Each structure stands twice: as structure tokens, then as C-alpha cells.
Structure 1
Amino acid sequence: MADRSSQNRFPSSGFLIGFLAISILGVSTAVVVLPHQPATFGTIPQTRRLFRVEVEDADEAGLVQQQLKVKPELVQGRYFYYYGDDNINRLLTSYGYSPVVADPEEVFTRIVRIAPQRDDAPLGKLGAASLLLRERDSWVLRGTVKQLRELERAGYVMKEQAHREPVPRRIQIVLAQPFDVNNQIGGRVEIVGIRRVRGGRAITVTGEAFDDAIKDLRARGLKVEILPDYPGVVR
């Protein structure tokens, strides 16, 4: 942590950074929605205060969790979100962090389904959730409570996804240049394999992505082919 003072810097020798487990149970239970019932997005009762601090990467987030015993509710980008109080904030401040109050309704996301639409442009105009999947009988969205509430006010009827995570599509991308693969396709594709196209410099990347990422890739001029789902996947 380059910006921390040497007096407060975490010791690095002999320390093994464990796997960072991220739990959002505290928020997912804030509004109870029965499976297959229309979701409603009222104000989340805030019995605890959510804060965030900035970290360099997942390694530093692991240090905060393991050495300072601060439990993360979510690590997103360079932000480490946690439920805290004055004692926890004083501890973090002593190590050079600057706790900031965060709004759970703008941080935590939920997955909902809506009826298929003719066009996704109205969703974009509402600053809406990410359109993960366009399926035959429904569209799957991911959004914060505030984003989903705006959709609800606009007349969309949503059903909360119950006990089933959406499954990304299997895709194949051909890249003309075999370098900086992550930069070429962005960070929203889970790469499964890379192979060189016979007789040339091009490579074929296989991976998994949701529809919003596929749309972005195609808008950037990349050729994206959707492959058959894995056996057992039901859409």
C-alpha cells in the first residue's frame, strides 16, 4: 500500500493472503420477496451504517479483512464496503484509510426478470440495470435498488430471481492480434480457452459473457459467435 506511512503499513513477511469471501446476506434479506411474485423496491431499513474505504486491489482488501478483522460486505473495483461504527472507523483511520458513508441502495444489486420488450432503449434512458440476458419468455436485469425502483415507477413489472443465478452465454471471439487479450475484449468476459487459428496470427478466444457484454463487444467491431449452452442449462 504505497500511500500508507511506514509506521502503519501491514507487515508483508510470512503473511499468506487468504481467499476473500464476499457476503451480502445483510442486504439480500432487507426486502423479502416471495418467488415468482412481483418485486417491490421500497426504502431499505438501515439498522446498520454502511461505509467504504479505497483499496489498491483484492490483496489489500484481504489484508484489511484478515489483519484488521473488518468484514467486507462487498469489494467492487477499488472500494471495500463494510458495516461499521466509530470504533472500526477509528481503527481504519489510524492505518491511513478515509471511511466514507455509502448508501446500500446505490451499492448492492439484485437480479430481476421483466417481460420481453420490443427495444432496450427505454431501459438505457432510465439509467437502468444491466440487461444480462434476453430470453424467450423474459429479460434478466441486474440493478441497484434505486435503479430498479425507477423502473418500477416507469411501469415495469419485475419478478425477483429466486435461488437461481443467471447463466452467461458461451461465446467465441476471433482476434486478429494475439496480444493483450484482456484489453481487446475488456474485463467482462470469463475466458475459458485461447487457441491460435491455423496458418495465421489470429487467435480464437472461448469464454462466457452476458448479453450486455456481447453487445458492447460487437459495437467495438469484434466478431462474437454464440455457442450452444453446456448440457443441463435451461433458459
Structure 2
Amino acid sequence: MIQSKVANSIKGSLLNLIQRDYQFIAGDKIQEMFADDVVNLVNRCYRDPWKIDIGQVMWYGVKAEDKPGYGKNSKNTSLTPVILTLISEEDLVMKNAGYSDKEIREKKIARLFREAYEQNALLTHSDVAFLLNVSTGTVSKQVNEYMERTGEVLPTRGIIHDIGRALTHKRIIIRLYCKGYQTPEIARKTKHTEQACDRYIKAYKKVVKLSKTMSIDEIAQTLEMSKSLVEEYVKIMNEVKEGDGDKLWQ
């Protein structure tokens, strides 16, 4: 954060600028509120490079609240700076203990996504691939392997903003539902909104019901879903059906 003395100096300069060149912003109170908002914005976007520890790097991620929408592209998507740990003491301990490069990289991948999310930002697989000097495919593969093995959903941009196929997090959400977890707990565990969790669960239940009498093509047409999405839900249904705790197949 900018030190208070510097912040006060910026605020004073802003007030002088407003009173001199932007007098249409009327009223002392409004002018002061506007100046405060600008200073707060600078505070949120400012990072002191000297405060970055050894092994850390500054990067820009997409603001978590800036969800994609019609007409949105990289040029009008809000970014925010984050400080990420590329090399931690834990990485060095794991290396000395004989862990493989793949195991250490998995730990790094999970950490980078979590650190960005804790700072209200989201990273893509491409971001992490560039930071770790590996392919995007390698990151995607290890993210999916990690989530399948641990049942934890990593807060990638694709998952939090529901971009792309992201089959793994749908599978985890539905498995939790089938094990009897309630929506608020599923949302907490998977870092999704309750609305998003309910949307996946309702879609899954509809596909399960129709699959007893309809083909995949017929389900897609009836529910106005893409065939590929229906196939994803059917795949999850078959996996859960063969396991334990499926509410819909008891």
C-alpha cells in the first residue's frame, strides 16, 4: 500500500486538479469522495517491488469479479497485479527429499492459482504455463489430475468464470451432491457460487431422467444443450452410477 503521507499528497493534488480543471464535479464533499476513490484505486493497483520476497514475481491476473460477457475481450477485461511465489522453501525441501519434478511442479501450479485467487485475481492455464516455462497442455493435465485425486477444485479462470468445457469441476460438484453434501458446502468446497452449483446439479438431474428413455441427440434437442455437454453429463452419470452414494440410482 502507498504510505499515508504519499496518499495524502496524491489526494491533495487531485483536489487541486479537480477544483482547477474539473469544476463540473460540484461540491466539496463530492470532490473529496472522488479523490478518495482515485487514491483507493491507486492503492489497489500499486505494488512496491522492494517488498517482493526472494522467489516471488509480480504478475497481472484478471479481476475475479470481472466475468466474461458479450463484447468482452482482452482489451476491456480488468487486470490487477498480484505477487506470486515461483520458488518457495517447500519446493526446495521437496527437491532435497527426492520428489520428482512433476510432483514439485504440481505443488507450484496449485499454489499459483490459490495465491492469485486470494488476491482477488484469476490466472489462466496459459499464465501458469508461461511462469513455469512449460506447455499449457502440461498445466491443464496436471490441474485435472490434481483435482481428480484430491477432490479440490483449483480456482483457475476457466473454472471460476465457467469458461470452456472444464469437465473435472462439474464431475466434482456432482459427486459431492451425490454423496449428500448441501449446495452451500459444495459451493465452499469448489469455490463456486451456489447458483452455479445448482445449475450443474439441475442440468445433471435432467439428463439422468431423460437418459432412461431418450438418446443423447434427443436429450440435447429437448434441453437445448450441445451434444458434447450432454455427453459430458452422461459420462459423469455412468461414473457415479458405478460408484457409491448416487442419490439418483439407489
- TM-score of Structure 1 vs Structure 2, range by shorter chain: under 0.3
Q: Which has the larger radius of gyration?
A: 2
TM-score, normalising length from structure 1?
A: 0.22
Give the helix-richer structure, 1 or 2. Answer: 2
